[in-house]
Structure 1
Amino acid sequence: MTSSDAAAIVRAEIFAIATRPASWVISRVAVPLSIGVASLLLVLGEATFALAAGGTVTGIAKDALDRPLAGAAVRLETSDGEVMGRTTSDGQGRFTFTDVPAGTYAVFAEREGFETATAMGTVSDGEGWSVDLTLTSRQQLNPVLEPVVVTAKRMEGPRVLTTPRSIGAPVYEITDPAIQIQPGGENNSLTQVLLQAPGVTQDASSVGGIHVRNQMGNLQYRINGIALPEGTTLFGQSGGLSPRLAESVTLLTGALPAEYGLRTTGIFDIETKSGAIEPGGHIGGYGGTQSWLEPSVEYGGSLGRFRYFLTADYLQNSVGISPATPNGAIHDDTRQGHGFGYFEVVLDSMSKVDAVLGTFVGHFQIPDRPGATPGFSVDGVSSFDSTKVDETQLEQNYFAVFSYRKAEADWGLQVAAYARYGSLAFHSDRLADLLFNGIAQRVDRSSIATGLQADARYAVAPQHTLRAGMLLSAEQTSVQATSLVLPAADGLQTSDQAIRVFNSTGKIGYTGSVYLQDEWRAVPAVTLNIGLRFDAYDAFRSEWQLSPRVNMVWQPSAATSAHAGYARYFTPPRQEFVSSGTLAKFGGTTAAPEVTQNSAPRAERANYLDAGVTQQILPGLKVGLDGYYKQANYQLDEGQFGAPVFLTPFNYRRAYTLGIELTATYAAGNFSAYGNLAAGRQQATGVASAQALFSAEDFDYIQTHYIVTDHSQLITASAGLSYLWRNTRASVDMIAGSGLRRSVQHPNDSTNPPYQQINFGLTQGFVLPAIGKLQARFDVINVLGNNYVLRDGTGVGVFARQFGPPRGFFGGLKKVF
């Protein structure tokens, strides 16, 4: 095939495909929340499109190791294939098109010895469009070329929704610009940012608990494609990662190919900022109601072959976890800190080594609620003000990832080693916890994990690319629990003198995985991905599974694509949260379990089906539909079964999950919008492990009935709008849900009330003499002040009440350099 033939094919597909160097990427789009929402997007979008007067398209042409390429032929085309302009990249890889009318365009870059690179974007008045084009070499490059510092911005779209041809499963990307325009921006937690993705449901509001496709946990976080080991932290969700470090965050879900395993409900792959593409940084502060104070700093750059990016922030406020009362929290102060560093050394034209270092430390007060009545007496005391309970939790997480990457034209290799240390310490209020719960605990959990991951690809033929890889990891966990309990007989307290019970457990566990898969382009419009994966683990149990995977992508036209897939999944329980204490020690006390059976959690084994279709309705408007079904044996779940705020895993004997997702994105001129609507349900029966966590009544009912799991929400929605006028951007986003489950007569037999939350943001960029470039922002969180209930304290594995965040007003200012 000639280069002109290839260009013709790419031109026909570009407005449904975003091409990356080593793989085809087919745009996945989203279906509107409703016909009314879609109509509104069209009307507003067309009106905004008419106002846009045009701008400039600029960018950088570079190779696979981010080195600028001079002499690349670059052209700009409309969606109809009309060439709007041609140019050649300069000595630093830069290219520019001026006086481009507002609209959606494709940019192509070609150079002898390289594959054609393409990108799609929107030109708007005032901002224009900046893009990086990475060309994959067909041969070894000159190793003596030195990397050059370049300055460029990635495409500033609202978000990118794609279905990669090599994956055949839903993929949803949130870019750094999309994070910045969200109300709160980079000052939000990472999990609050992830609520922009379809099928993502919030749990605890401030702590950032989330569920993907009505699943509890089973989430995996990756840094630049490398799986990040899990930690013991709970409130520092996602290991305490901050959105400040992210160039983009990509959610992969559904029936995934063989290269993804173990934690597969949702894989959040974070591409970190490197300092080479956008050198510089900022120092700033953010704060407001709820005693919010959040200073931050970041800086990145390069020195010859060395590149780096550093960021750090400190946070303190009075809504650290989640309010247990409406209109704000009682005893919910927090102090947190994040630190992150990325360091890279280019070895030659085709290889590099890098290091990623991160840390999170968080001090949390456990929220109180008024009106609670003690159920026990201690040392002659039988009353206590429940707003004065003083429980606290300290969480720490530290990780390091070191990797080597090499990218040849026909093959590539990535090898990474990682280490992580995490700890969680819960400190009880001795008297209060005994009075209200009959047990007061001091719990210290720690975990040390190390691992090695290797992934490789090899193009054996133009139609076939083989991928193979392995993962080996070891984890040592320790749990020290000191409990004060009261003597009891048949559930009734017999003495008000507390007795001490000590439990200490430790475990070293091992996990191993290997996979092999073939990406086969059977015909030009169809790509198959067929693979096999083997996973095994040895901890509280020893289990293994061989898992086949099959995925297909079909693109009948440039504007339409469809995908379908089947995956067999194997998911071990999180070792650091497994409870293995000796139940006999609590016999004859107020902490004695009603169910004496206590089997160790098992690995979940599931069959997963996923299928979807995407459609580009018109330039800028993308819609899509995705459906899924999962059948599981030993469905893993987690819950809080006591005052110490950590999650304990257990299994349901059988479960099924099904749902549908409708999503939409629209961008025209200075206007952008997105909308997501998901419906789904998970039901399960039979408690198959950790039975002692349950009351006898709940246990007996679940053994003989299917119940809706506590984290299952029937309807979940999110949406957002953004408009830029000169240097001022206004944005609005919304989350809504039909309510998580609660218990009335039987476990999880009802729902909490539906909720909606609307947030508003305003950002302004300006320049002051002698100071330089500044950016100010103003945000209102929960504009309508809805005091909605997330949890009412009932339901399987639900211990505490949780409300949405109170209305808050926040402002920030940062100096950009």
Structure 2
Amino acid sequence: MGDLNYQLSGFHQYSELHYTPDAIGDLAYNGVASDTLRSNTANGLQFDASYKLNAAHTLRTGLAYTRQNTHSDNSVGVFDMNDDGTQASTDPRTIVDNSSKTGKLSSVYLQDEWHIGAPLTINYGVRFDKVDAFVNEQQWSPRINVAYQLAKGTALHAGYSRYFTPPPQELAAQSSIDKYAGTSNAPEVAVSDNVKSERTNYYDVGISHQFSGALTMTADAYYKKIRNMLDEGQFGQALILSPFNYDRGYAKGLELSAVYSQKDWGSFLNVTTQKAEGTNITSGQSLFGPDELAYIANHYIHVDHDQTVTISGGAHYHWGDSQISGDVLYGSGLRLTPDTDGAAPNSGHLPHYTTVNLALTHTWKATPVGAVEGRLALINAFDKVYLLRDGSGVGVGAPQYGERRSLYAGISTSF
């Protein structure tokens, strides 16, 4: 509508995860047989608008509202235990542990894009978020980002942003943990505080330079200072993700990238190095052992998804209505806890890995249903077998492998 643009969206989302046990085998080997069903239904609205006030200012605003309902239905076979930790009976009993929670998340923001002069642009604004679920929290988040054209083809940018990230609703409440007291499913730590929202101060700075019409290179550095640092892990007999908080954490990194583009072909290369650590677990304590909690309470440890070096690169060639492309991904390995006495949690890392992916696309332009694009993608072309996790480490309950060789086909059309 002239200088005013707006968009209104509504959405519905449903997800479900059902873990079923080997009722006899799990009881015999683990002392617990858990039939767990978790489901989440979310409905929401989002509105965004922008208005070009004048040549120097463009205003943007928006709001969002989400209402979600989470159900956790558990039927858990357990054995009763004596005070000395021995099994009291060979006859199991079933504990029914069903719960539900309705949560609401509201957000609103206002932003101004200010073109001060030809080389300088500032984006600044503020956002407000409020969550009402297992916790009732809110935050005002100011943000400012500056872009400056140093010279033709060279630009600097720097910024500060405050972020507010509510936790997922799928978590184990204290009332559920209390039901397992005196049984084979009782945790070593019987206290589990509610998971809180993550609050982050984010700083970044970078530079880009266009060496020619074909080659552009960029460098970006960032630092995140985090309170109530959110993480998720797989715990217990039913390996379902559960959230928890570190009291304090940080993440920092550097990314170097290059893009080369010609008429019929092009390539890219990204090299990143980063480090992320947290200390003092302050929620979901029942998911951990007491020795692990005691160490982390006084030491920073690597988070389980911390990977020191990641490199990706690729190229494509275009002829007629077809294109062939390939890319390579290298990772130095996620974290593990070494199998040695006194080893700090997450102090080691898995072996590095490299995978190669290939793709072929073709476009049929004149069809009765408009332009049609077909695509074939070969993932992990050389069928490299590699571990993402080995089952050790904080929040890592089972081994997990990378995807084996896979072939995907897709087709899309646009009128």
Task: Settle same-fold status: TM greater than 0.5.
Answer: yes
Q: Which residue of 1 aligns with 2:76?
A: 483
Q: Which residue of 2 aligns with 1:459?
A: 52
Q: Which residue of 1 aligns with 2:234?
A: 640
- CA distance 1:523–1:491, shift in 2 (3 Å): farther
Tell me, yes or no, if structure 1 residue 739 matches structure 2 residue 313: no
Query: CA shift at 1:812, angstroms?
Result: 5.8
3-state DSSP of counterpart to 2:392 = coil
- The CA distance in 2 between the partners of 1:811 and 1:594, in whole Å, is 45
Which amino acid is 2:380 matched to?
N
Alpha carbon RMSD of aligned pairs, Å? 2.5
The correspondence of residues 116-195 of structure 1 with structure 2, limited to 5 A, is none
Q: Which residue of 1 aligns with 2:18?
A: 425
Which amino acid is 2:117 matched to?
V
Q: Which has the higher contact order (CA 8 A, sep 6+)?
A: 1
3-state DSSP of counterpart to 1:689 = coil
User: Among residues 767, 775, 787, which one is paired with 2:385 in the alignment?
Assistant: 787
The correspondence of residues 499-648 of structure 1 with structure 2, limited to 5 A, is 499-575=93-169, 577-580=170-173, 581-648=175-242
Tell me, yes or no, if structure 1 residue 412 matches structure 2 residue 5: yes
Contact 2:315 2:325 in 1 (8 A): yes
Tell me, yes or no, if structure 1 residue 439 matches structure 2 residue 37: no
Contact 1:492 1:590 in 2 (8 A): no
Tell me, yes or no, if structure 1 residue 651 matches structure 2 residue 284: no
- CA distance 1:765–1:566, shift in 2 (3 Å): closer
Which amino acid is 2:8 matched to?
V
- The CA distance in 1 between the partners of 2:410 and 2:202, in whole Å, is 46
Which amino acid is 2:162 matched to?
R
Q: Deviations over 1:287-308 (max 9, x none)?
A: xxxxxxxxxxxxxxxxxxxxxx
- The CA distance in 2 between the partners of 1:797 and 1:499, in whole Å, is 28
- CA distance 1:549–1:815, shift in 2 (3 Å): closer
Which amino acid is 1:654 matched to?
R
User: Among residues 310, 314, 333, which one is paired with 1:720 in the alignment?
Assistant: 314
3-state DSSP of counterpart to 2:179 = helix
**Seq. identity, %:** 38
3-state DSSP of counterpart to 1:582 = helix
- CA distance 1:671–1:638, shift in 2 (3 Å): same
Q: Which residue of 2 aligns with 1:688?
A: 282
Tell me, yes or no, if structure 1 residue 803 matches structure 2 residue 408: no
- The CA distance in 2 between the partners of 1:754 and 1:682, in whole Å, is 18
Unaligned 5+ segments in structure 2 are: 366-370
User: Among residues 21, 31, 41, which one is paired with 1:448 in the alignment?
Assistant: 41
Query: CA shift at 1:657, angstroms?
Result: 0.5
3-state DSSP of counterpart to 1:651 = strand
- The CA distance in 2 between the partners of 1:498 and 1:601, in whole Å, is 32
Q: Deviations over 1:71-127 (max 9, x none)?
A: xxxxxxxxxxxxxxxxxxxxxxxxxxxxxxxxxxxxxxxxxxxxxxxxxxxxxxxxx
Q: Deviations over 1:476-528 (max 9, x none)?
A: 21111111112334444343322211111111111112222211111111111
The correspondence of residues 13-28 of structure 1 with structure 2, limited to 5 A, is none
Which amino acid is 2:397 matched to?
F
The correspondence of residues 178-577 of structure 1 with structure 2, limited to 5 A, is 408-489=1-82, 490-575=84-169, 577=170
Which amino acid is 1:486 matched to?
F
Tell me, yes or no, if structure 1 residue 752 matches structure 2 residue 344: no
Query: CA shift at 1:612, angstroms?
Result: 1.1
Contact 1:550 1:565 in 2 (8 A): yes
Q: Deviations over 1:293-346 (max 9, x none)?
A: xxxxxxxxxxxxxxxxxxxxxxxxxxxxxxxxxxxxxxxxxxxxxxxxxxxxxx
Which amino acid is 2:347 matched to?
D
Contact 1:549 1:566 in 2 (8 A): yes
Query: CA shift at 1:467, angstroms?
Result: 1.7
Number of matched pairs: 403
Query: CA shift at 1:674, angstroms?
Result: 1.4
- CA distance 1:476–1:785, shift in 2 (3 Å): closer
- The CA distance in 1 between the partners of 2:111 and 2:238, in whole Å, is 43
Contact 2:236 2:287 in 1 (8 A): no
Contact 2:376 2:410 in 1 (8 A): no
Which amino acid is 1:484 matched to?
G
- CA distance 1:436–1:759, shift in 2 (3 Å): farther
- CA distance 1:779–1:599, shift in 2 (3 Å): closer
Contact 2:204 2:220 in 1 (8 A): yes
3-state DSSP of counterpart to 1:640 = strand
- CA distance 1:600–1:782, shift in 2 (3 Å): same
Give the structure with the higher percent strand.
Answer: 2
Contact 1:601 1:649 in 2 (8 A): yes
Query: CA shift at 1:815, angstroms?
Result: 11
- The CA distance in 2 between the partners of 1:680 and 1:436, in whole Å, is 40
3-state DSSP of counterpart to 1:435 = helix
- The CA distance in 1 between the partners of 2:373 and 2:46, in whole Å, is 40
Q: Which residue of 1 aligns with 2:270?
A: 676
- CA distance 1:548–1:811, shift in 2 (3 Å): closer
Query: CA shift at 1:778, angstroms?
Result: 6.4
- The CA distance in 2 between the partners of 1:541 and 1:741, in whole Å, is 30
- The CA distance in 1 between the partners of 2:20 and 2:256, in whole Å, is 44
Q: Which residue of 2 aligns with 1:158?
A: none
- The CA distance in 1 between the partners of 2:216 and 2:337, in whole Å, is 40
Contact 1:776 1:811 in 2 (8 A): no
- CA distance 1:794–1:492, shift in 2 (3 Å): farther
- The CA distance in 2 between the partners of 1:733 and 1:667, in whole Å, is 15
- The CA distance in 2 between the partners of 1:694 and 1:811, in whole Å, is 39
Q: Which residue of 2 aligns with 1:7?
A: none
Q: Which moved more, 1:603-612 or 1:582-591?
A: 582-591
- The CA distance in 1 between the partners of 2:249 and 2:191, in whole Å, is 21
Contact 1:438 1:485 in 2 (8 A): yes
Q: Which moved more, 1:637-646 or 1:751-760?
A: 637-646
Query: CA shift at 1:465, angstroms?
Result: 1.7
User: Among residues 256, 271, 291, which one is paired with 1:662 in the alignment?
Assistant: 256
- The CA distance in 1 between the partners of 2:312 and 2:121, in whole Å, is 32
Query: CA shift at 1:785, angstroms?
Result: 3.5
Query: CA shift at 1:665, angstroms?
Result: 1.5
- The CA distance in 2 between the partners of 1:656 and 1:613, in whole Å, is 23
- The CA distance in 2 between the partners of 1:412 and 1:497, in whole Å, is 67
3-state DSSP of counterpart to 1:602 = coil
- The CA distance in 2 between the partners of 1:684 and 1:643, in whole Å, is 25
- The CA distance in 2 between the partners of 1:553 and 1:794, in whole Å, is 44
